[in-house]
Structure 1
Amino acid sequence: MSTLPSLSYLNLSFNNLSGRIPKGNQLQTLENPTSIYAGDVQLCGDPLPKKCPGDDDSAQPPTSNGHGDEDQEEDKKEKMLFYFIILAGYATGL
């Protein structure tokens, strides 16, 4: 939507939207930009006063729970299982 060539009116209020508001030419030119997002409390970023996680320079990096290697190993196993299932399905279809 931010790359549309022309946008004169937009109302996204009370749509249960969440996340960062995208930046773009047309979204920055709308009149009263904060009211078009009214009721969408999960939205963050400009033009709203609510900052998104990671916007604050003093934000601290996420703390490690000490299970990083275990998580990576589990992800690797899940990925291998996924590819094995895909390969088995392909071989069965031949």
Structure 2
Amino acid sequence: MDKNGKVVRKNAKLEAIHILLSFATHYKKRLHQMDVKCAFLNGIINEEVFVKQPPGFKSDAFPNHVLKLKMELYGLKQAPHAWYEKLTSFFMMVFKEEK
């Protein structure tokens, strides 16, 4: 999120994709694509986030209580950024070890 609370999206620019495809074609390299299942659920929350009880979960003993999240949840504004940070730190660790 930026300083105004707006979600900042990290997208590959079309020019970067063209460069990658051109490089792979020129050097006869194979490209692979992957998808991480539940990627947004693998991020780490760096702040306290509370949500109201979802339908079907309502506690009879505490119907007005909210829940504190221990991990990311789809739909959170922070989820894409948290996943990006986790993925970036993983790549930095992997490529640092290869030197």
TM range (shorter): under 0.3
The TM-score, its normalising length taken from structure 2, stands at 0.25
Q: Which structure has the larger Rg?
A: 1
Relative to its length, the structure with more helix (as a share) is: 2
The TM-score, its normalising length taken from structure 1, stands at 0.26
